Amino acid sequence: MSVLELKNELHRLVVNTEDENILEKVRVYFSSLSDSSDWWETLSPNQKTVLETGLDQLDSGQKVNHHAVREKVNQLLKDG
């Protein structure tokens, strides 16, 4: 597919969608490719909140190591 064909296809996809979420993701993705900005700035507010919550939990000692999680999952699978 040529560059012109790719552009036309992308344009068609954008024009034909009414899903604001998809359009925002495409915009953010293109911005991240063309900008040399920090990856943090490409995250949605919700993604930032989730990461900040996780970091706060780690800082306060609320963590479970990988081995413990694997054991619990294996036990759940065995019992289920």
In this prediction the pTM is 0.42
Domain boundaries, the chain: 1-39, 43-80
Look at residue 40 in the predicted model and tell me its pLDDT.
86
C-alpha–C-alpha distance, residues 59 and 55, integer Å:
6
Answer yes or no: is pLDDT of 1 > 90: no
Look at residue 80 in the predicted model and tell me its pLDDT.
65
C-alpha–C-alpha distance, residues 73 and 66, integer Å:
11
Structure-token pair, residue 10? 């992308």
Answer yes or no: is pLDDT of 8 > 90: yes
pLDDT in tens, 13-61: 999 999 999 999 999 888 877 766 677 887 899 999 999 999 999 999 9
